[in-house]
Amino acid sequence: MQTKLDQQLYKAYLEKLKREKRFVLIWQLILLISFFGIWEVASRFYWIDPLLFSSPSSITTLLISRFSEGTILTHMQATLLETILGFIIGTVLGIIFASVLWASTRFSKIMDPYIVILNAMPKVALGPILIVALGPGYISIIAMGAIISVIITTLVVYSAFKEVDPNYEKVLKSFGATRWQCFKEAIFPATMPVMISTLKVNVGLSWVGVIVGEFLVSQKGLGYLIVYGFQVFDFTLVMASLILIAIFAAIMYKVVEKLEGWLMKHTIDGQ
Amino acid sequence: MSFLTLSNVSHHYFTKTGFTKALSNISFSIAEGEFISILGPSGCGKSTILSIIAGIMKQTKGEVLLHNKPMDRSKTQIGYMLQQDYLFPWKTIIENVLIGPNIQATATKETKEKATSLLHEVGLSNIADAYPASLSGGMRQRVALVRTLITNPKILLLDEPFSALDYQTKLKLEDLVFQLLQTYHKTALLVTHDIGEAIAMSDRILVMDANPGVIAKVFDVPVELRNEMPFMVRRHPKYQLIFDKVWQELNKHEGAMSKS
């Protein structure tokens, strides 16, 4: 009797959760459909200039034809590869720099003003210099993707290193641990959550770096397509590239989020 | 026969705006197997003494001698237990326990067996592969105790290891630690705020005064109490007598502090 009522209440609770979820999903779909619907209608009736703002139908036609020709695939490939590499290099280098700073307090004191300047400086402004130094190719673009996230990663991870509870080090030192052993056993693993959360930030930053890099120089990539479309006044191409970027950036973000969940689970509490 | 000796140890903390003398000419010695407690107002440098003996801090003056020789920091002779367990949450219990041997590169198969049997001894069987998060405070502090004992230290430094626990767990753990130290014939130095705990566990009590930290008075715990388990000491008729004496001594210093 009692249990039956409990079961009923539980079922009602689950039902409520499900309803809520459905409600949210429906509204998300309504927003999506009405956005593209209104865009399409506005374009057809010349409420907005179709030459400038294109329309979902012409973007779809363009994408279908480009995909079937296969021409857009190389562009997508280039951008994705550059972004992923920029992201990885930026994050890894940032963590390495942070470790070097931690290794020598004196070195970090010496470097302090330079890091402040590098951090405050808008990294994309370095674009032309990178291109001159590394050549007008994908290496410069990867460097742009990396440089935009490396300084902030260094700062965030370094300050996280310093915030690790000193008592962990005390425990290790009482066993006679060296500084390196303290780093390996306590400082680095204790900072894992911070490092993992920088991943999510960095993936977004790397997109910025790569797209700007492609704006400046390149014969390939989605950023290149945007600039090219702009120059030849083909805004359908610009919009199509934007949509692809949005989709890929979202996918990458989601993948990193999943990775973050996995890493958190397997490195932090280890459950 | 002195085992560990501190001779005229002083310590200063320096800041840009000045310095504080945390310890001033601290001298005392501990015999092997002896249990000493340090009581005193906060800020009297109790924990600093432990850090200096552990080699985590270097005293600004004076000497720390083991067997009349300066301590050899390369070998572990010290086990350090802190207020909280500071188990590494990303390591399993057995990995946590073996961290000392791993750091000293002395871990062998026997060490692991010893760890398992020590864990068993403190009443923690079958949790070797669990993570600290799934253990209660008392269990975690017992793991920390095993981690400290596994390297077979000559001296145990206990920095208020029971203060973060609830009263019942604390009493139980006091008995456990006392028993283990007796079985393995360890020398120990306990820093605490709890007069009862100091009397219950130790052979001798050093009462300290602050600003600068000095040893104000030394109490010998009556012989009848020394070998009793901590829980039983608290019920002994002589317990209250020494408690009152220590209480008065401590009050004197705290009174002096509030006047100044």
Task: Confirm or reject contact between A192 and chain B (CB < 8 A).
Answer: yes
Residue with token string 């003494």: B49
Q: Is A137 found in the same domain as A36?
A: no
Contact B193, B47 (CB under 8 A): no
Q: Residue A5's pLDDT is what?
A: 86
Chain A residue numbers with beta carbons less than 8 Å from the beta carbon of B80 are 170-171, 174
Q: Is B237 found in the same domain as B173?
A: yes
Q: How far is A264 from chain B (nearest CA, A)?
A: 10
Q: Is B162 found in the same domain as B69?
A: yes
Q: Is B91 found in the same domain as B36?
A: no
Query: Which residue range(s) make up the domain with B173?
Result: 4-77+155-259
Q: How far is B103 from chain A (nearest CA, A)?
A: 6
Task: Confirm or reject contact between A228 and chain B (CB < 8 A).
Answer: no
Q: Is A17 found in the same domain as A91?
A: no
Q: Residue B259's pLDDT is what?
A: 46
User: Under 8 Å CB-to-CB from A266, ≥6 apart: which residues?
Assistant: none
Number of other residues whose CB lies within 10 A of the CB of residue A148: 26
Q: Residue B256's pLDDT is what?
A: 55
Q: Is A14 found in the same domain as A121?
A: no
Domain CATH code at residue B72: 3.40.50.300
Query: Which residue range(s) make up the domain with A200?
Result: 57-268
User: Under 8 Å CB-to-CB from A165, ≥6 apart: which residues?
Assistant: A190, B86
Residue contacts between A and B (CB atoms, under 8 Å) = 67
Q: Is A37 found in the same domain as A99?
A: no
Chain A residue numbers with beta carbons less than 8 Å from the beta carbon of B86 are 165, 167-168, 170-171
Per-residue pLDDT tens, chain B, 260 aa: give them: 578 888 888 998 888 888 888 888 888 989 888 999 999 888 788 888 988 888 888 888 888 888 888 876 666 678 888 888 899 988 899 999 999 888 888 888 888 888 888 888 888 888 888 889 888 888 998 899 899 888 888 889 999 888 888 888 888 889 988 988 888 888 999 999 889 999 999 999 999 888 888 888 888 888 888 888 888 888 888 888 889 888 888 888 775 555 44
The partner residue sitting opposite B133, judged by closest CB among A181, A189, A269, is A269
Q: Is B114 found in the same domain as B159?
A: no
Task: Confirm or reject contact between A15 and chain B (CB < 8 A).
Answer: no
Q: Is B90 found in the same domain as B12?
A: no
Q: Is A112 found in the same domain as A76?
A: yes
Contact A207, A222 (CB under 8 A): no
User: Under 8 Å CB-to-CB from B15, ≥6 apart: which residues?
Assistant: none
Contact A161, A154 (CB under 8 A): no
Chain A residue numbers with beta carbons less than 8 Å from the beta carbon of B104 are 175-176
Say yes or no for a CB contact (<8 Å) between B56 and A186.
no
Say yes or no for a CB contact (<8 Å) between B55 and A267.
no
Q: Is A149 found in the same domain as A76?
A: yes
Say yes or no for a CB contact (<8 Å) between A170 and B79.
no
What tokens were used for B11? 């310590």
Q: Is A195 found in the same domain as A154?
A: yes
User: Under 8 Å CB-to-CB from B209, ≥6 apart: which residues?
Assistant: B40, B41, B44, B215, B216, B253, B256
Q: Which of B152, B176, B205 is the last residue of a domain?
A: B152
Q: Is B159 found in the same domain as B148?
A: no
Cis peptide before A128, with omega less than 30 degrees from 0?
no
Q: What is the pLDDT of residues A92-142, one digit of tens each?
A: 999 999 999 999 989 999 999 999 999 898 988 888 898 899 988 889 999
Instruction: Give me the number of domains chain A comprises.
Output: 2
Choose among A25, A6, A26, A24: nearest CA to A14: A6
Say yes or no for a CB contact (<8 Å) between B76 and A175.
yes
Q: Is A185 found in the same domain as A61?
A: yes
Say yes or no for a CB contact (<8 Å) between A168 and B131.
no
Chain A residue numbers with beta carbons less than 8 Å from the beta carbon of B79 are 174
Chain B residue numbers with beta carbons less than 8 Å from the beta carbon of A179 are none
Task: Confirm or reject contact between A265 and chain B (CB < 8 A).
Answer: no
Q: Is B96 found in the same domain as B130?
A: yes
Q: Residue A270's pLDDT is what?
A: 45
Q: Residue B76's pLDDT is what?
A: 60
Q: Is B213 found in the same domain as B160?
A: yes
Task: Confirm or reject contact between B93 and chain A (CB < 8 A).
Answer: no
Q: Is A167 found in the same domain as A33?
A: no
Q: Residue B257's pLDDT is what?
A: 52
Domain CATH code at residue A64: 1.10.3720.10
Q: Is A62 found in the same domain as A40?
A: no
Q: Which of B130, B152, B174 is the last residue of a domain?
A: B152
Q: Is A155 found in the same domain as A26?
A: no
Report the 3 state secondary structure along A208-271.
Answer: HHHHHHHHHCCCCCHHHHHHHHHHCCCHHHHHHHHHHHHHHHHHHHHHHHHHHHHHHHHHHCCC
Instruction: Give me the number of domains chain B comprises.
Output: 2
Q: How far is B260 from chain A (nearest CA, A)?
A: 33
Nearest C-alpha in B relative to A179: B103
Q: Which of B129, B152, B175 is the last residue of a domain?
A: B152
Say yes or no for a CB contact (<8 Å) between A269 and B90.
yes
Say yes or no for a CB contact (<8 Å) between A175 and B103.
yes
Say yes or no for a CB contact (<8 Å) between A174 and B133.
no
**Interface predicted TM-score of the whole assembly (ipTM), two decimals:** 0.83
Q: Residue B58's pLDDT is what?
A: 86
Q: Is A253 found in the same domain as A145?
A: yes
Q: Is B42 found in the same domain as B168?
A: yes
Chain B residue numbers with beta carbons less than 8 Å from the beta carbon of A263 are none
For A157-210, the DSSP string reads: HHHHHHHS-HHHHHHHHHTT--HHHHIIIIIHHHHHHHHHHHHHHHHHHHHHHH
The partner residue sitting opposite A177, judged by closest CB among B78, B103, B131, is B103
Q: Which helix (H) or strand (E) holds B98?
A: none
Q: How far is B85 from chain A (nearest CA, A)?
A: 9
Task: Confirm or reject contact between B28 and chain A (CB < 8 A).
Answer: no
Residues of chain A with pLDDT under 70: 1-2, 266-271
